[in-house]
Amino acid sequence: MRNRLRSLSGKDSLMLWLIALPGVLYFLVFKYVPLLGNVIAFQDYSIFIGIWDSPWAGWKHFVFMFEYEEFMNILRNTLVLSFYTLFFGFPAPLLLALLLNELRQMLFKRTVQTLLYLPHFLSWIIVGGIFINLLAVDGLANRAVEALGGQPVEFVSDSRFFRSVVVLTSMWKEVGWGMIIYLAAIAGINPNLYEAAVMDGAGRWRQMVSITIPSIAPAIVTLLLLRIGNMLDTNVEQILVFLNPLVRDIGEVIDTYVYRVGLLNAQYSFTTAIGLFKSVIGLVLIVGLNHLSKRTTGQGLY
């Protein structure tokens, strides 16, 4: 029997390749060809001449990038916004999961979970529409401000509030969903640990600090590494909703700039250079952090 199975394996392999073919083609066309397409960062690419005949430009676009004041401003905007999103957005789901874990009434807990997950399923257009309405000069938020004796604030058209609006709305939308991974990790902790801790007289707080948090630490480290590795990535769909000419000085980030200048104004080579710069930074961050994490905490992404 074994021999017969083996003699068929050449045919099996061919069959499996045929089954895999559409998926393999997909990865080649939509993931690998664009990676090779990064060469236009070193060209003066013109869509009419094509990638084969466009003239080479060397490092011109990269040099220009760093001499260009606007780009430096955009890079700073991206880093600051990412930092705030990480600083406020990263611990929030973790804290919430720890607190939710302390709720004792199951029905209440389930209802809370259902409502907290809901915004994740709404599009950024809907979430943007809701918050632009609430934060408008004559919106509900400003009526609360007035009721407290303040002056109405232009939350959506004053660039000073742009980052707060982006961080708060992304927390509103994703904080509940972000909780799930931690809740699952908490659910996987061996209950005997808690029983032993109770026997030793440990209270709630002690249990959380000595059992829950150390048990889910690997998940926390992994998620944190991934987040920092993607520091320069922003959520284009979110930013585009809140971006308007009045807040552009603070609100423009790398991804929206590449979209606006690269695709709308057809500066393909220059913005591909920016994109390439971004991926290289991302790669360096991931590899570096992984190395650091492995040396200090003994665990990494790969």
Partner 1 sequence: MVTNKSERTFQWINSLFFALLSLSMIAPLIHLLAVSLSAPKYANAKLVVLWPKGFNLDVYETIFGLGALWRAMGVSIWITVIGTLLTLALCSSLSYAVSRRQMRGRIAVLQGILITFIFSAPLVPTYLVIRGLGMENTLWALIVPSALNAFYVLIMKTFFAGISGELFDSGKIDGCSEPRIYASIVMPLSKPVLATIALFHAVTQWNSYFQALLFIRSRELYPLQIILRNMVIEDEASAVVGNMETVQAATPEMMKAGVILFATVPILIVYPFLQRFFVKGAMLGSLKE
Binding residues among 9-28 for partner 1 as defined by CB under 8 A: 9, 12-13, 15-20, 22-24, 26-27
Kindly identify the residues of this chain, within the stretch 244-273, that bind partner 1 according to CB under 8 A. 255, 258-259, 262-263, 268, 271-272
Residue 176 token pair: 């509940």
Q: Would you give the binding string for partner 1 spanning residues 109-138, x where CB under 8 A is met?
A: --xx-xxxxxx-xxxxxx-xxxxxxx---x
**Could you tell me which stretch among 33-41, 55-63, 192-200, 209-217 binds partner 1 (CB under 8 A)?**
33-41
Dist CA 238 CA 163 (whole Å) = 12
- Beta pairing partners, 56: 43
Closest CA to 99 of 196, 186, 177: 186
CA distance 275 to 232: 10
Residues in the interface with partner 1 (CB under 8 A) total: 92
Helix H or strand E segment including 253: none
Q: CA 90, CA 220: separation in Å to the nearest integer?
A: 9
Q: Which is nearer to partner 1, 16 or 292 (CB)?
A: 16
The smaller minimum CB distance to partner 1, of residues 38 and 297, is found at: 38
Residue 236: Cβ-neighbour burial (10 angstroms; 0-12, 13-18, 19+): middle
Q: How far is the CB of 149 from partner 1 (least distance, A)?
A: 17
Cα(60)–Cα(41) distance, integer angstroms: 9
Residues from 78 through 107 that contact partner 1 (CB under 8 A)? 96, 99-100, 102-105
Least CB distance from residue 220 to partner 1, whole Å? Answer: 11
**∠117-123-129 over CA atoms, to 5°?**
110
Residue 46 backbone phi and psi in degrees, to 5: -125, 135
219-248 mask for partner 1 (x: CB under 8 A)? x---x--xx--------xx--xx-------
Give the x/- contact pattern for partner 1 in 173-202, rule: CB under 8 A: ---xxx-xx-xx------------------
Q: For residues 11 and 1, what is the distance between their CA atoms, to the nearest angstrom? A: 16
Please tell me whether residue 168 binds partner 1 under the rule CB under 8 A: no
Tokens of 295: 């040396």
List 59, 64, 83, 108, residue binding partner 1 (CB under 8 A): 108
Q: What is the smallest separation between the CB atom of 80 and partner 1, expressed in angstroms?
A: 21
